Chain A
Amino acid sequence: MNRAARIACVVLSVATAMPLAAQQGCTTPASIRARMSVAAPDASAFEDLGIALAAEKQYACAAMAFADSLRLKPDSANVLFMLGTSLVFSGHIQEAVGPLQASEAIEGRNLKLHLVLASVFDQLHRGAEAKAEWRAAADTDPLSPEAVDGLAQELVLEQEYQAAIDLLNDRTSARQRTEVQSLNLGIAYAALGKTALAVDVFRDGLNTTQDSLTIAGELADLLAQAGRVDEADAVFVLTLERHPGDVDVELHRFRTLLAADPARAKAAGEELLRRAPRNWEVLYLNGVLETEEGDLAQARSHLEASIALNESVPLAHSLLGVVLGRMRDYAGAKQQFERAIALGDTSQEVHKNLEGVTRAMQP
Chain B
Amino acid sequence: MLLAPALATRGQGTASPARALWKLSIDYPEDGSIFPPGIPPPTFLWRDAAGSSWRVEIAYGEKSAPIKLPLKAERFHFGPSDPRCSRNPDQQPKLTPQQAATWTWTPDRATWSAIQARSVQQPATITITGYNNAHAAVSRAQVAITTSRDPVGAPIFYRDVPLMPTENISGNVQPLAESANPLIQWRLRDIRQPQSPVVLQNMPTCGNCHSFSDDGKTLGMDIDGPANDKGLYAIVPVGKHMSIQSKDLVHWNTDGRVGTVRVGFMSRVSPDGRYVLSTFAGPTYRLLDTFYVTNFLDHRFLQVFYPTRGILEWYDRSTALRQPLPGADDPAYVQTDGVWSHDGQWIVFARAAARPPREKGKPPALRANDPGETQIQYDLYRIPFNGGKGGTPERIEGAAQNGMSNTFPKISPDGKWIVFVGCRNGQLMRPDSQLYIVPFQGGAARRMRANLLLMNSWHSFSPNGHWMVFSSKGRSFFTQMYLTHIDADGNDSPAILIDNATAANRAVNLPEFVNIGANGIEDIAVQVVGAHKPTGKTGR
Query: How many angstroms between the C-alpha atoms of A233 and B14 in the bound complex?
Result: 11
CB-CB under 8 A from B14, the residues of chain A are 229-230, 261
CB-CB under 8 A from A350, the residues of chain B are 5
Q: How many residues of B contact A (CB 8 A)?
A: 46
Determine whether the beta carbon of B97 is less than 8 Å from that of A207.
Answer: no
CB-CB under 8 A from B16, the residues of chain A are 230
From residue 230 to 261 of chain B, which have CB atoms closer than 8 A to chain A?
Answer: none
Residue B17 is within 8 A (CB to CB) of chain A in the complex: yes
A349 in contact with B6 given A142-B369, A241-B132 (CB within 8 Å): yes
Closest to A210 in B: B49
Residue A356 is within 8 A (CB to CB) of chain B in the complex: yes
CB-CB under 8 A from B101, the residues of chain A are 207-210
CB-CB under 8 A from A166, the residues of chain B are none
Pick the contact of A260: B13, B18, B24 (CB < 8 A). B13
CB-CB under 8 A from B97, the residues of chain A are 145, 176-179, 208-209
A171 in contact with B7 given A109-B366, A177-B97 (CB within 8 Å): no
A203 in contact with B25 given A142-B431, A172-B432, A210-B49 (CB within 8 Å): yes
Closest to A321 in B: B2
CB distance from A217 to the nearest CB of B (A): 14
CB-CB under 8 A from A158, the residues of chain B are none
Determine whether the beta carbon of B10 is less than 8 Å from that of A259.
Answer: yes
Residue A113 is within 8 A (CB to CB) of chain B in the complex: no
Query: How many angstroms between the C-alpha atoms of A326 and B1 in the bound complex?
Result: 8
Residue A352 is within 8 A (CB to CB) of chain B in the complex: yes
Q: Give the dominant DSSP class at B's interface.
A: loop
Residue B354 is within 8 A (CB to CB) of chain A in the complex: no
Determine whether the beta carbon of B453 is less than 8 Å from that of A263.
Answer: no
Pick the contact of A322: B4, B138, B474 (CB < 8 A). B4
CB distance from B22 to the nearest CB of A (A): 6
CB-CB under 8 A from A237, the residues of chain B are 19
From residue 31 to 53 of chain A, which have CB atoms closer than 8 A to chain B?
Answer: none
CB-CB under 8 A from A206, the residues of chain B are 49
Determine whether the beta carbon of A171 is less than 8 Å from that of B13.
Answer: no
CB-CB under 8 A from B47, the residues of chain A are 204, 207-208
CB-CB under 8 A from A262, the residues of chain B are 10, 13
CB-CB under 8 A from B361, the residues of chain A are none
CB-CB under 8 A from B533, the residues of chain A are none
From residue 295 to 327 of chain A, which have CB atoms closer than 8 A to chain B?
Answer: 315, 318-319, 321-322, 325-326
From residue 199 to 217 of chain A, which have CB atoms closer than 8 A to chain B?
Answer: 203-204, 206-210
Chain A 231-268 near chain B by CB (<8 Å), digits 1 or 0:
10110011001100000000000010111111110000
CB distance from A81 to the nearest CB of B (A): 16
Query: How many angstroms between the C-alpha atoms of A218 and B22 in the bound complex?
Result: 16
Most buried by B among A140, A204, A326: A204
Query: How many angstroms between the C-alpha atoms of A352 and B47 in the bound complex?
Result: 53
Query: How many angstroms between the C-alpha atoms of A30 and B24 in the bound complex?
Result: 55
From residue 91 to 111 of chain A, which have CB atoms closer than 8 A to chain B?
Answer: 108-109
A234 in contact with B3 given A208-B97, A209-B101 (CB within 8 Å): no
Determine whether the beta carbon of A288 is less than 8 Å from that of B7.
Answer: yes
CB distance from B425 to the nearest CB of A (A): 13
Number of A-B contacts (CB under 8 A): 132
Chain B 351-371 near chain A by CB (<8 Å), digits 1 or 0:
000000000000100110101
Residue A159 is within 8 A (CB to CB) of chain B in the complex: no
Closest to B141 in A: A207
Determine whether the beta carbon of B10 is less than 8 Å from that of A264.
Answer: no
CB distance from B476 to the nearest CB of A (A): 10
CB distance from B75 to the nearest CB of A (A): 13
From residue 116 to 142 of chain B, which have CB atoms closer than 8 A to chain A?
Answer: 132, 138
Query: How many angstroms between the C-alpha atoms of A297 and B371 in the bound complex?
Result: 71
Determine whether the beta carbon of B50 is less than 8 Å from that of A356.
Answer: no
Query: How many angstroms between the C-alpha atoms of A209 and B98 in the bound complex?
Result: 8
Closest to A340 in B: B5
Determine whether the beta carbon of A204 is less than 8 Å from that of B25.
Answer: yes
Determine whether the beta carbon of A230 is less than 8 Å from that of B20.
Answer: yes
Determine whether the beta carbon of B367 is less than 8 Å from that of A208.
Answer: no
CB-CB under 8 A from A108, the residues of chain B are 363
Determine whether the beta carbon of B49 is less than 8 Å from that of A171.
Answer: no
CB distance from A207 to the nearest CB of B (A): 4
Closest to A318 in B: B5
Residue B492 is within 8 A (CB to CB) of chain A in the complex: no
Closest to A360 in B: B2
Query: How many angstroms between the C-alpha atoms of A3 and B267 in the bound complex?
Result: 51
Determine whether the beta carbon of A177 is less than 8 Å from that of B5.
Answer: no
Residue B217 is within 8 A (CB to CB) of chain A in the complex: no
Residue B387 is within 8 A (CB to CB) of chain A in the complex: no
Determine whether the beta carbon of A175 is less than 8 Å from that of B454.
Answer: yes
Residue A162 is within 8 A (CB to CB) of chain B in the complex: no
Determine whether the beta carbon of A319 is less than 8 Å from that of B138.
Answer: no
Pick the contact of A263: B13, B23, B49, B367 (CB < 8 A). B13
CB distance from B366 to the nearest CB of A (A): 6
From residue 160 to 217 of chain A, which have CB atoms closer than 8 A to chain B?
Answer: 171-172, 174-179, 203-204, 206-210
Residue B88 is within 8 A (CB to CB) of chain A in the complex: no
CB distance from B73 to the nearest CB of A (A): 14
Determine whether the beta carbon of A207 is less than 8 Å from that of B49.
Answer: yes
Residue B537 is within 8 A (CB to CB) of chain A in the complex: no
Query: How many angstroms between the C-alpha atoms of A229 and B19 in the bound complex?
Result: 11
Determine whether the beta carbon of B4 is less than 8 Å from that of A292.
Answer: yes
Query: How many angstroms between the C-alpha atoms of A109 and B370 in the bound complex?
Result: 11
Residue B9 is within 8 A (CB to CB) of chain A in the complex: yes
CB-CB under 8 A from A356, the residues of chain B are 2
Query: How many angstroms between the C-alpha atoms of A76 and B8 in the bound complex?
Result: 59
Residue B11 is within 8 A (CB to CB) of chain A in the complex: yes
CB-CB under 8 A from A139, the residues of chain B are 371
Pick the contact of B24: A207, A230, A315 (CB < 8 A). A207
Determine whether the beta carbon of A141 is less than 8 Å from that of B367.
Answer: yes
A174 in contact with B453 given A140-B367, A238-B50, A322-B3 (CB within 8 Å): yes
Query: How many angstroms between the C-alpha atoms of A318 and B474 in the bound complex?
Result: 57
Determine whether the beta carbon of A171 is less than 8 Å from that of B5.
Answer: no
CB distance from A77 to the nearest CB of B (A): 15
Closest to A357 in B: B2
From residue 319 to 342 of chain A, which have CB atoms closer than 8 A to chain B?
Answer: 319, 321-322, 325-326, 333
Query: How many angstroms between the C-alpha atoms of A315 and B4 in the bound complex?
Result: 9
9 interchain pairs (CB within 8 A)?
A142-B431, A207-B49, A210-B49, A224-B11, A234-B19, A259-B9, A259-B10, A349-B4, A352-B3
B residues touching A (Cβ–Cβ < 8 Å)?
A: 2-14, 16-25, 47-50, 96-98, 101, 132, 138, 300, 363, 366-367, 369, 371, 431-432, 434, 451, 453-454, 474
Given A233-B17, A238-B138, 14 extra CB contacts under 8 A: A142-B431, A175-B453, A176-B97, A176-B98, A208-B47, A230-B14, A230-B16, A230-B20, A238-B50, A259-B7, A259-B10, A261-B13, A333-B2, A345-B5
A residues touching B (Cβ–Cβ < 8 Å)?
A: 108-109, 139-143, 145, 171-172, 174-179, 203-204, 206-210, 224, 227, 229-231, 233-234, 237-238, 241-242, 255, 257-264, 288, 291-292, 315, 318-319, 321-322, 325-326, 333, 345, 347, 349-350, 352-353, 356-357
